[in-house]
A and B are shown apart, each in its own frame.
Chain A
Amino acid sequence: MSATSAPQPVKLSLPLEYQQALFQELRSEDELIVLARGLGLMRLVTNLLHSYDAAGNNLIIIVGAEDRENAWIGEALAEHAAISMSPKARGLTVVNTDFTSVGAREKMYARGGIFSITSRILIVDLLTSLLNPETITGIMVLHADRVSTTSLEAFILRIYRQKNKIGFLKAFSDNPDPFSTGFAPLATMMRNLFLKKASLWPRFHVVVAESLEGKKKKAEVIELEVPMTDSMRDIQNAILECVEVSIHELKKANAGALDMDGWNLDSALLKNFDVVVRRQLEPNWHRVSWKTRQIVNDLTVLRGLLHSVLTFDAVAFLQHLDTIYAAHSPPPGSTRQNQSPWLFLDAAQTIFETARKRVYAASTRPAVAGPDIDALQPVLEELPKWSVLAEVLEEIDRDLWFDPPVRDDSNGTILVMCSDANTCRQLRDYLQTMHVKPKTNEPERAKMKKTKDVRDDDDDDDDDDKSKLSAAFMMRRKLRNYLNWKKEFARVSATLFSENQRALNGATDGRSGQPLRGKAPPNKRRRVRGGGAIGAISGRAENGSVVPLADRPSDVAGLVAQVQATEEEKAQHQKADAVADVVADPLDDMEDYYQLYEMQDLVVIHAYDGDQDEHVLEEVKPRYVIMYEPDAAFIRRVEVYRSSHNSRHVRVYFLYYGGSVEEQRYLSTVRREKDAFTKLIKERASMSLVMTTAAADAAHGHGAGFDDPQEAFLRTVNTRIAGGGRLAATAQQPRVVVDVREFRSSLPSLLHGRSMEIVPCMLTIGDYVLSPNLCVERKSIGDLVASLKDGRLYAQAEAMFQHYKNPLLLIEFDQNKSFTLEPFADLSSASSASSASSSSSSSTAPPSVSSDVQSKLVLLTLAFPQLRILWSSSPFQTAEMFEALKSQEHEPDPLTAVRAGLDRDMRADDQSFNLEPQEMLGIVPGVTPKNIKNIVLETENLREVANMSQEELEPLVGRQAARQMHEFFNRNVVEE
């Protein structure tokens, strides 16, 4: 709006008072800004960047930006540059995943400008001096809340501050939550960020409140509490019960580790209760039993259900349940009781049954088997919010008609905001079809169907019957699709699990399967087995009496007939399906926009999308905003939008289900944020402020070690080495060659903190090379388990032995994880199981117990007797260990380290692979560690491999493997 005191006259777009205050503050000082979510942090960042950009002649680094933010910053900078016509502005350069070559990067850095660099690349460039820290004008850290003592970002800042004391450093965060846990979190954070000043801007900050509320005309807000239907409430309560029981099971199984005293049912209403539980178990995650893990996974599923019962329509919810059920049912014939415990509860039955009743219900039981029209009646409960939404739209419509408002700046658009893309789709679908009644007179419907694109001639229909709104049309269509899907799905799961099925059939005539199935464990009072699909088709109805959900095929047929009868003709039915396909029409790129009324008004349905919502508001300029689901940040965005534009009127409708999880979540987010800010403000008040950067260095221990002459001297006269024969070797700084992929862990940062020279290289073999003989493969516990399972570790060990004399396997525990591999509680059962299997006789397959880490570790040492294992309780400990290990060794040569393991004709560059697709490829049957290289070199990506014919694959992998691969991709589970 106006020029500020910035050195260059630049045009800024910060209309509100608090935004300008913040900007001034940031221009003058280095500080950490914590701004309440929704108050426009990104806008502040882009304006600030622009003010530097316009000045030119600088090198500014943005750390921690996500892709979307990069896109936004880039756009905004270009826009600003165009508006203020600053010739020196150069816009943003994004440096991410090795896309730019080293040489090009060096040139770019020399040219200067604003860079957003992925932390992993930035740290490597700083360490290799590709980017000299002294040339940096300043660093901006986004998402400062994610910076922890050992994180990469802290490492970057440490190197930056070591070499460059004058450059600016500003940190931003819009998430106060992480600052409110732990001991003196703000002080710790400030130390990590090398900052002295924190500036907190909650919504209740005086200046913020004034700028948003001071104006005469505030945004009108109309709250609409929508009651849930009885069945929705029943389902929600049943899910909560399941959650409670699961938690109870967890407590029972992990008495020592899980401190759940503060747990009550209300906690289940919190947003991330499963994450909370997971975090509590995290220190012992590698020790908990298999069952505990499953329950924790169940909690995630249940939390998802809590959300979907409110957002999915009845049919989609039932379909979702079916899928969950199929995925969680155990492979038949398994002797272990590995079904999720919640599925055995009465409450689970309530969930499934009620969900089904919302879609269809039996009116009378058919006496004779056969297509009985009355057998099942579609119920098709509608979500209560739908009709409310329709009413609101109608009200707005009436409003516009009777009381046409004065034309102002806003577009008069109606903006509907909801939580995700699926809800968007659902609402659009509903709004399109709500005026269509399934049994209206024939010609009109025919007309409607003649043109497939409903969007265009929806208007005609609207005029005809506005009287009654219902989702019946949409729901019937969905039900029809659902029934089709279910038929297919039954076949799919039958195919998918047929192997298991066969195994079961093989077992039933023998000893194990059937009898075990017969005597259910005591806690298995009811089985919800056969939730429709599998039970009905595969004929495993031996416990049919307790299959509440399996519908008789005849009944289903009746239902199908019932639904289709209204459609009368098959041709029409197909056309209807075509209409249904509009939902997934790939051409609908602009899908969120469509015309509804004769006026040039639009109804825009959009999903909440973090900071991007600001753009939506600015671009759409809505007069009416309907918040289909509550979102605290968005309310603020509307406030900001409203206050930023004096001449725009906004009316907000706010829909939520009363007494629902949704409402509770909303309230608790608001409360939590407020608490977090309050706590932060208190801490800041009592925080001592004498934290100079030098002091911070010292606090970091060896941070300043580099240029400390005393230390350098001590190094040369290391008395620990008898005779001083290796003086020359110790005269130089100890050096460690580190694989660039290892920079994800905190170890390189800690090694650097112990004043070792870190040489980042692309290593094929090993993660750390300590000396010409010592090569270390680092495994965190999770890694260890995974790499033992998929054989990666075996191959890595093999490779290390080819190139190094003393390969080491480092098993590194987390700082906060318990330092033990011992499983809790079920050690006795595990060892008794092992004893049972080993003592029973050698005829039973021995490696059935070898699933745990210990036994695999045993195998590994048996396979590689010369492999030494380092056990470290934390990265800190590892760093010390490395120092001790290499104290009497020669320094490693980076070049040899890089060359080790490379094929002679392969250049180092060819070795960089993307891991995820390769891992997927490795799973495909027929692909072996040997032929995977061929495939990777000859093909582009997974999609290409999937589309190759057997003949094309053959030259790469051979006939047999080609057939296997082709079959894997092309096997059709639906048609079989």
Chain B
Amino acid sequence: QALPQRSSRSAIQVSPRQRGNPVLAALRSLPWEYSDIPADYVLGLTTCALFLSLKYHRLHPEYIYQRTRKLQGKYNLRILLTLVDIPNHEDSLRELSKTSIVNNVTIILCWSAAEAARYLELYKSYEHANFSAIRGQQSSSYAEKLVDFVTVPRSVNKADAIALVSNFGSLRDAVNADPDQIGVIAGWGPVKVRKWVAAVEEPFRAKK
């Protein structure tokens, strides 16, 4: 009895060509199924991936270009999942990078079958994800923000941040404080004090 087609939506579709690839063995947390597709893996409506081992690429340099051609510009995001399994990868990678621009594929490097499988899983599970995680809009508590704020100048650490604010009460007072006053706080050596004061006093715009 044929399985209903619906299941393929939540599963990674794998081309039968990939049979025997150790990546499949590592693909454990998401369901996958064989399917007749031009790419090696289909990870969503507009996303597909081709798998390439550099060892193989060195022996058959033309293979990957044929495969890319067969995609016929179908998918929007075309991943070239490249397994780096040779030590001198420089030449192959340079060539692949150059052609990736022409062939409209995005190269993702991985170093083991497990990592490759992880990428596939990630692509599938993020199919409908929003991008807030990389847009830097992660809200955090006041304390975290505070620590983040104070620790921007290099060499100032978390303990210093807490010491600073607990000493002055509010951030505003800390910003207004004199170098001498800050220097009294344990842990705030002259370098840190200088960096902090510079960051606070430095104009936003560099002067001409």
Within 8 Å CB of A858, what residues of B?
A: 119, 122-123, 126
Q: B162 and A323: CB pair below 8 A?
A: yes
Q: B145 and A943: CB pair below 8 A?
A: no
Q: B30 and A940: CB pair below 8 A?
A: no
Does A916 make an interface contact (CB < 8 A)? yes
Least Cβ distance of A228 to chain B in Å? 20
Least Cβ distance of B196 to chain A in Å? 10
Does A819 make an interface contact (CB < 8 A)? yes
Does B62 make an interface contact (CB < 8 A)? no
| CB<8 Å pairs between A and B, sample of 8 | A496-B142, A499-B141, A588-B180, A831-B121, A847-B133, A859-B131, A868-B97, A918-B204
Does A862 make an interface contact (CB < 8 A)? yes
> How many angstroms between the C-alpha atoms of A511 and B154 in the bound complex?
40
Does A168 make an interface contact (CB < 8 A)? no
Does B149 make an interface contact (CB < 8 A)? yes
Known: A422-B183, A856-B134, A973-B169. A327 touches B158 (CB 8 A): yes
Within 8 Å CB of A920, what residues of B?
A: 149, 152-153, 199
> How many angstroms between the C-alpha atoms of A873 and B87 in the bound complex?
11
Known: A499-B143, A871-B97, A885-B98. A854 touches B119 (CB 8 A): yes
Within 8 A of A (CB), among B171-208: 171-172, 175-176, 178, 180-181, 183-184, 186-187, 189-190, 198-208
Q: Which of B32-40, B63-71, B100-108 is near enough to bind chain A? A: B100-108
Known: A98-B207, A499-B143, A862-B126. A791 touches B137 (CB 8 A): yes
Q: A865 and B77: CB pair below 8 A?
A: yes
Q: Which of A180-188, A312-320, A596-604 is near enough to bind chain B? A: A312-320
> How many angstroms between the C-alpha atoms of A923 and B206 in the bound complex?
20
Does A620 make an interface contact (CB < 8 A)? no
Which one, A584, A822, A880, A946, contacts B90 given CB within 8 A?
A: A880
Within 8 Å CB of B206, what residues of A?
A: 97-98, 912-914
Size of the chain B interface, CB-CB below 8 angstroms: 89
User: A: which residues have CB within 8 A of B?
Assistant: 97-99, 101, 297, 301, 304, 308, 312, 316, 319-320, 323-324, 326-328, 420-422, 425, 485, 488-489, 492-493, 496-497, 499-500, 583-586, 588, 774, 788-794, 806, 808, 819-822, 827-828, 831, 834-835, 838-839, 846-847, 850, 854-863, 865-873, 877, 880-881, 884-885, 909-910, 912-914, 916-921, 923-925, 935-937, 939-943, 946-947, 968-975
Q: A586 and B76: CB pair below 8 A?
A: no
Which one, B115, B118, B145, contacts A834 given CB within 8 A?
A: B118
Which one, B89, B122, B134, contacts A873 given CB within 8 A?
A: B89
Within 8 A of A (CB), among B105-137: 106-112, 114-115, 117-119, 121-123, 125-127, 129, 131-137
> How many angstroms between the C-alpha atoms of A969 and B133 in the bound complex?
26
Which one, A819, A946, A974, contacts B166 given CB within 8 A?
A: A974
Q: B134 and A854: CB pair below 8 A?
A: no
Which one, A327, A808, A838, A865, contacts B46 given CB within 8 A?
A: A865
Residue of B nearest to A585 (CB): B180
Q: A968 and B145: CB pair below 8 A?
A: yes
Q: B106 and A867: CB pair below 8 A?
A: yes
Does B6 make an interface contact (CB < 8 A)? no
Least Cβ distance of B125 to chain A in Å? 5
Residue of B nearest to A325 (CB): B159
> How many angstroms between the C-alpha atoms of A444 and B98 in the bound complex?
86
Known: A862-B77, A880-B94, A884-B94. A101 touches B208 (CB 8 A): yes
Given contacts A821-B109, A827-B114, 14 further A-B contacts (CB under 8 A): A99-B208, A316-B186, A492-B166, A791-B135, A794-B134, A794-B135, A858-B123, A861-B77, A861-B108, A870-B97, A880-B90, A923-B152, A942-B202, A943-B201
> How many angstroms between the C-alpha atoms of A422 and B182 in the bound complex?
11
Least Cβ distance of A852 to chain B in Å? 9
Q: B131 and A863: CB pair below 8 A?
A: yes
Within 8 A of A (CB), among B38-78: 46-47, 76-78
Within 8 Å CB of A856, what residues of B?
A: 133-134
Q: A941 and B189: CB pair below 8 A?
A: no
Q: A909 and B208: CB pair below 8 A?
A: yes
> How many angstroms between the C-alpha atoms of A584 and B119 in the bound complex?
56
> How many angstroms between the C-alpha atoms of A946 and B200 in the bound complex?
9
Residue of B nearest to A966 (CB): B172
> How many angstroms between the C-alpha atoms of A7 and B202 in the bound complex?
45
Within 8 A of A (CB), among B140-156: 141-143, 145-146, 148-149, 152-153
Does B165 make an interface contact (CB < 8 A)? yes
Within 8 Å CB of B171, what residues of A?
A: 946, 968-971
Q: Which of B97, B115, B207 has the most CB of A within 10 A?
A: B97
> How many angstroms between the C-alpha atoms of A856 and B89 in the bound complex?
24
Least Cβ distance of A601 to chain B in Å? 26
Least Cβ distance of A283 to chain B in Å? 14
Residue of A nearest to B88 (CB): A873
Q: B110 and A941: CB pair below 8 A?
A: no
> How many angstroms between the C-alpha atoms of A857 and B178 in the bound complex?
43
Q: A914 and B205: CB pair below 8 A?
A: yes
Residue of B nearest to A503 (CB): B141
Within 8 Å CB of B200, what residues of A?
A: 917, 941-943, 946
Within 8 Å CB of B23, what residues of A?
A: none
Which one, B47, B78, B133, B149, contacts A924 given CB within 8 A?
A: B149
Known: A914-B203, A936-B204. A323 touches B187 (CB 8 A): yes
> How many angstroms between the C-alpha atoms of A421 and B129 in the bound complex?
52
Residue of B nearest to A589 (CB): B180
Q: B134 and A323: CB pair below 8 A?
A: no
Residue of B nearest to A790 (CB): B136
> How many angstroms between the C-alpha atoms of A914 and B208 in the bound complex?
12
Which one, B101, B126, B158, B181, contacts A855 given CB within 8 A?
A: B126
> How many angstroms between the C-alpha atoms of A923 and B143 in the bound complex?
12
> How many angstroms between the C-alpha atoms of A973 and B141 in the bound complex?
14
Residue of B nearest to A774 (CB): B101
Within 8 Å CB of A420, what residues of B?
A: 189-190
Residue of A nearest to B138 (CB): A789
Q: B134 and A859: CB pair below 8 A?
A: yes
Least Cβ distance of B45 to chain A in Å? 12
Within 8 Å CB of B178, what residues of A?
A: 586
> How many angstroms between the C-alpha atoms of A868 and B97 in the bound complex?
8
Least Cβ distance of A300 to chain B in Å? 8
Within 8 Å CB of B78, what residues of A?
A: 865
> How many angstroms between the C-alpha atoms of A353 and B191 in the bound complex?
31
Within 8 Å CB of A101, what residues of B?
A: 208
Known: A831-B29, A834-B121. A822 touches B106 (CB 8 A): no
> How many angstroms between the C-alpha atoms of A856 and B94 in the bound complex?
24
Residue of A nearest to B77 (CB): A865
Does B11 make an interface contact (CB < 8 A)? no
> How many angstroms between the C-alpha atoms of A919 and B111 in the bound complex?
34
Least Cβ distance of A850 to chain B in Å? 5
Q: A923 and B186: CB pair below 8 A?
A: no
Which one, A320, A794, A827, A916, contacts B131 given CB within 8 A?
A: A794
Known: A98-B206, A98-B208. A496 touches B94 (CB 8 A): no
Within 8 Å CB of B111, what residues of A?
A: 820-822
> How many angstroms between the C-alpha atoms of A473 and B133 in the bound complex?
55
> How many angstroms between the C-alpha atoms of A861 and B104 in the bound complex?
13
Q: B186 and A584: CB pair below 8 A?
A: no
Residue of B nearest to A946 (CB): B175
Does B21 make an interface contact (CB < 8 A)? no
Which one, B76, B77, B143, B145, contacts A497 given CB within 8 A?
A: B143
Q: A793 and B149: CB pair below 8 A?
A: no
Q: A942 and B142: CB pair below 8 A?
A: no
Q: A969 and B172: CB pair below 8 A?
A: yes
Within 8 Å CB of B98, what residues of A?
A: 881, 884-885
Q: Which of A323, A839, A972 has the most CB of B within 10 A?
A: A323
Q: B175 and A969: CB pair below 8 A?
A: yes
Within 8 Å CB of A855, what residues of B?
A: 122, 126, 133
Least Cβ distance of B117 to chain A in Å? 8
Residue of A nearest to B91 (CB): A880
Does B170 make an interface contact (CB < 8 A)? yes
Residue of A nearest to B162 (CB): A327
Does B84 make an interface contact (CB < 8 A)? yes
